[in-house]
Amino acid sequence: MRVLWASLIALLLAAFPAASQQFTTLKGHGGPVMGIGVNTSTGQVATASFDNSVGLWEGRTPVWLEGHEAAVNTVLFLNDTRLASAADDFSIILWGADGAVTTRLEGHKGKVMDLGVSPDGGTLASASWDGSIGIWSLENGARRFLQGHEAPVNAVSFGHDGRLFSASADGSIRIWDVETGTSRVLINQGFGVNRIVLAPDLSWLAYGAVDGMTRVIDPEEGHALYDFSLDRRPILSLAHHAQTGQLAVGDGHGYIMVIDTQDWRIARDFRAMQRGPVWALAFSADGQNILAAGLSDVVYSWPVALLDTFDPAGQAGRSFLRDPDEMPNGERQFMRKCSICHALTPPPSRKAGPSLYGVFGRKAGALPDYPYSPTLETADITWTDETIDALFDIGPDHYIPGSKMPMQRISAETDRDDLIEYLRKATAIKEN
């Protein structure tokens, strides 16, 4: 009833665009959405997904940008005609206005988790789990890698003066002189720092950490200014809208906290997701809506002014969000180990992995139009009860070394048997 009432309110207020925006959803990705970017000039939205793709949205209609070979973690508008994305395939892609790959930036040796662009628009910085920060010229492609953190780097942000701030799983936030490559530790808070947001005027820096710390500090000296830590962890996403002074915080419990940075108070604390974390956050260009994504393949956009009237998203539930206790064991194993990447329906699919429809008796790497790894394309494997059992018994990285399949093991033989029985029925080709 609350959702219905909120929807009616939103529809009524939609007649007055200056006062409100509507609740909307962006649907079409084949896996969880890991990052959201908003073009502050045009309002256009871009999304980065576990399905290896970037979605570029015109209203609620997507154009799919395909080029990455693994989950895409972040997306960033460089200007009105240029977009950058970074992924688990260790690469960064620069996209043109027509959605074509214009440049692929390579050199990292680990997942690339975040991107930042310099104030003059000429330099891109990348945060990687290889422990380095990539510095890329957007004019000639020249690259450098800054070393200093002792663990994966999760986030980067440029200040208006050209200095770079970075956050790492080593618990530290560093300040870098990009020209010289030198840095100093601003703080070391003990637990990994996942996200940072820097005020445009460099008056404050906000960070969110693994232990649930949500703090605002002085970006020169590192001393604490404000603490908004609650009993929820980890902090997984941050977003700032400078014109309206809103700072949003997303956590592992599915909440979005909105902080008013003009008087530094919690303006709203909203249970956004029925289940799971808030992976990605962004404000609409005008700051009236907040966009968020979690475990499902949907991006939700709520009017900030009406947040308190909505129930958590995802109550209807995608199949992979159902209660495991409601499923037979074979289906439960599939949902836990396979459903994020693989569809059971005939191709095409927007999932990151190939469809499993008709998989029994099919040669590995043989589904038309799917970009398999060279390892799988040349593997002498046919999918049967025995080969699927072996795949999950020792894990893909041992059974087919070099494939793109993530490490997944099912150690109990009875669980593997139940999975195979479920797949036999669920993937069977249906006669017309």
CATH class of 2-309: mainly beta
Predicted confidence (pLDDT) at residue 210 exceeds the cutoff of 90 = yes
pLDDT at 16: 34
Predicted confidence (pLDDT) at residue 347 exceeds the cutoff of 80 = yes
Encoded amino acid at 364, one letter: A
For the chain, percent of residues with pLDDT exceeding 70: 92
Least confident span in 63-67, 184-188, 387-391, 397-401: 397-401
SS (H, E, C) the chain: CHHHHHHHHHHHHCCCCCCCCCCEEEECCCCCEEEEEECCCCCCEEEEECCCEEEEEECCEEEEEECCCCCEEEEEEEECCEEEEEECCCCEEEECCCCCEEEEECCCCCCEEEEEECCCCCEEEEEECCCEEEEEECCCCCEEEEECCCCCEEEEEECCCCCEEEEECCCEEEEEECCCCEEEEEEECCCCEEEEEECCCCCCEEEEECCCCEEEECCCCCCEEEECCCCCCCEEEEEEECCCCEEEEEECCCEEEEEECCCCEEEEEEECECCCCCCEEEECCCCCEEEEECCCCEEEEEEHHHHHHCCCECCCCCHHHCCHHHCCHHHHHHHHHCCCCCCCCCCCCCCCCCCCCCCCCCECCCCCCCCCCHHHHCCCCECCHHHHHHHHHHCHHHHCCCCCCCCCCCCCHHHHHHHHHHHHHHCCCCCC
Pick 97 or 238 by higher pLDDT: 238
pLDDT band, very low/low/confident/very high, at 81 (cuts 50, 70, 90): confident
pTM of the model: 0.82
Pick 241 or 13 by higher pLDDT: 241
pLDDT at 2: 40
pLDDT band, very low/low/confident/very high, at 67 (cuts 50, 70, 90): very high
pLDDT band, very low/low/confident/very high, at 236 (cuts 50, 70, 90): very high
For the chain, percent of residues with pLDDT exceeding 90: 73
pLDDT at 12: 33
pLDDT at 120: 95
pLDDT band, very low/low/confident/very high, at 8 (cuts 50, 70, 90): very low
Mean pLDDT within 146-166: 97
pLDDT at 77: 97
Least confident span in 9-23, 119-133, 152-166, 415-429: 9-23
pLDDT tens string 371-419: 888 888 889 999 999 999 999 999 888 888 877 777 778 989 999 999 9
pLDDT at 186: 98
Question: Where, residue-wise, is CATH 1.10.760.10 in the chain?
Answer: 322-426
Question: Where, residue-wise, is CATH 2.130.10.10 in the chain?
Answer: 2-309
Predicted confidence (pLDDT) at residue 32 exceeds the cutoff of 50 = yes
pLDDT at 314: 65
The β-bridge partners of 313 are 273
Predicted confidence (pLDDT) at residue 369 exceeds the cutoff of 90 = no
Mean pLDDT within 247-267: 97
- Residues 6 or more apart whose CB falls under 8 angstroms from that of 345 comprise 355, 357
- Residues 6 or more apart whose CB falls under 8 angstroms from that of 432 comprise none
Mean pLDDT within 103-119: 97
Predicted confidence (pLDDT) at residue 315 exceeds the cutoff of 80 = no
Gap between the Cα atoms of 86 and 49, Å rounded: 10
pLDDT band, very low/low/confident/very high, at 21 (cuts 50, 70, 90): low
pLDDT band, very low/low/confident/very high, at 317 (cuts 50, 70, 90): very low
Mean pLDDT within 36-59: 96
Predicted confidence (pLDDT) at residue 248 exceeds the cutoff of 70 = yes
Quick check: 30 and 343 in contact, CB under 8 A? Answer: yes
Mean pLDDT within 38-53: 96
pLDDT at 323: 63
Predicted confidence (pLDDT) at residue 258 exceeds the cutoff of 70 = yes
Quick check: 424 and 397 in contact, CB under 8 A? Answer: no
Mean pLDDT within 278-283: 97
In this structure, CATH architecture of domain 322-426:
Orthogonal Bundle (1.10)
